[in-house]
Amino acid sequence: MRRSTLISLGLALLLACVAVLATRAWLGAQRVAIQTEMTGGQQSSQTVVVAAKPLLFGNRIVASDLATMSWPAEILPVGAFTSVDAVVGTSEQDARYVISAMATGEPVLASRVSSPGQRAKLSTVIAPDMRAVSIRVNDVLGVAGFVLPGDRVDVLLTHLPQSQDDSGAYVDMLLQAVKVVAVDQSSDDQSDQPSLVRTVTVEVTPLEAQKLTLAGSIGTLSLALRNVGAAGSEAHERVTVDDLGLSAPPDLPPVEQPAPRPAAIDEPSSTVGIGVVRNGSRVEYQVTPWDAARP
């Protein structure tokens, strides 16, 4: 074999080895970069307190109900707790209660538990700038008991005129998509059992609370249950009796009534009564007057 050929083969082998080594070095650098990036992501995580088991409305929160897990700091939930002690407190006065049910593994948020030492009650569920107003309902006005805490409803006002004429009756859409916070004395938003109730409490603004109070005094309030995802307002208008499309009864021809019969006139009697008392007893006699007996 010629010397030039051997030199060419040697150079080819050398270049191949250099290419292999360069490729391995590049792959190693990429692997290190990926590991460094992953390590950096783990370093930016945050410890978050989550529910270790289902937590229901009104339950007092104890340490055994909670667990901790690593959570990316970039998407940390607002109001999340970073330690179990921050939730359960250190004494009875610091105890917290569940005001919105949570599933296992769900982050425990400040908006879903009561303030330290405060029990779970309706006032803790209402937003700071909102009010709770109760509406009296029955099996029909309350959608047959299918309205539950957490649902959204429309409030309708039915107004009937004081006169016997129903032409002035109307129905208005008073409020739309208001949140139900309680039915009767229950504010558990995880309840799914319908029941007939007497009152439904809704969360409204102060102005809407005034409207509900006034409307309840001049008419009848009823509820319309909305789809769980329909929270927006829709165009609406007043509905009157004319909008029902009911036709007026046809005019019937007058019915002739028979003429009243003349009243009978009693003819004067031709005799008069004369009483005669004999032996303590009275006897009545009918006699013809002398004038009437003359021809």
| Contact (CB, 8 A) for 147 and 191 | no
CA 286 to mean position of chain CA atoms:
91
CATH code of the domain made up of 46-120: 3.90.1210.10
The residues, ordered by sequence, that sit 6+ positions from 87 with a Cβ below 8 Å of its Cβ are: 49, 61, 66, 81, 96, 108, 113
* pLDDT by 10s per residue, the chain, length 295: 567 777 777 778 888 888 888 888 888 888 877 776 665 545 578 899 999 999 888 888 999 999 999 988 888 889 999 999 999 888 878 888 888 888 899 999 988 888 887 776 777 778 888 999 998 887 666 677 788 888 899 999 998 887 766 677 889 999 999 998 888 876 665 565 666 778 889 999 999 999 999 998 888 888 888 887 777 778 888 888 888 776 555 556 676 777 777 766 666 666 767 776 777 777 777 767 665 555 5
| Contact (CB, 8 A) for 103 and 184 | no
The residues, ordered by sequence, that sit 6+ positions from 127 with a Cβ below 8 Å of its Cβ are: 203
The two three-digit tokens of residue 281, written as one number: 């007893």
The two three-digit tokens of residue 111, written as one number: 């908006």
Question: What does residue 256 show for φ and ψ, rounded to 5 degrees?
Answer: -70, 130
| Contact (CB, 8 A) for 130 and 148 | no
| Contact (CB, 8 A) for 192 and 148 | yes
Beta bridge partners of 87: none
The Cβ of residue 175 has, within 10 Å, a number of other Cβ atoms equal to 20
Quote the pLDDT of residue 289. Answer: 66
Domain ranges of the chain: 46-120, 128-244
